[in-house]
Amino acid sequence: MARTAARAAAVLLTGLIATGCSGSTLIAPSRGAETAVGPTALAVPTSEDTAMIVDGSSVVLGSSGRSQARGLGTVRPSLVDLGGADSTGVIEHLTWENWGDTTATGSGTAAYAAPGEALASATQERATVVASDPGSCDGKPAYRTLTWYFPQHGEVAGTHPPLDVCGP
């Protein structure tokens, strides 16, 4: 146990040093075995989900393995099409901020239909986009979830549940 905690501390320390020296961003594990509670507790990464030091140029959005999807498995995609039968899973003209951080936010245009309206009446509107849950997809550092919302219509972060973009 002490050896595992020492290894986790070494990974964390290495990440902090590298972050200060290289401009990389530390992405902490999104899942890990909590071994203690309190301000001095360390989250010990599991072998499946280890702490990674990455720069924003190597983090992708989800997995490229989803059938008929576009933009997934790429760095800072400008278009995401989740491959569904309608336009509600398409976000275009994406621009991103803080790519490589624990959460990346951006903006783009997507189909908006007011509650109770038919999808056929949806209009293209500005949306705020959130990529989160950093980890690994297809062996690459990736954001594993994606969501978007329309602030101009009173929506806020969390209005829509995040979508798994790492699986098929």
- Residue that wins the pLDDT comparison between 16 and 125: 125
Q: Report the percent of the chain where pLDDT is more than 90.
A: 53
* DSSP assignments along 125-155, one per residue: EEEEEEEEEEEEETTEEEEEEEEEE-GGGT-
pLDDT in the model for residue 34: 29
pLDDT over 80 at 85, yes or no: no
Give the pTM.
0.67
* DSSP assignments along 75-114, one per residue: SS-S-EE---SSGGGEEEEEEEESTTSSSEEEEEEEEE--
Confidence of residue 135 (pLDDT cuts 50, 70, 90): very high
List the domain boundaries for the chain. 2-54, 56-164
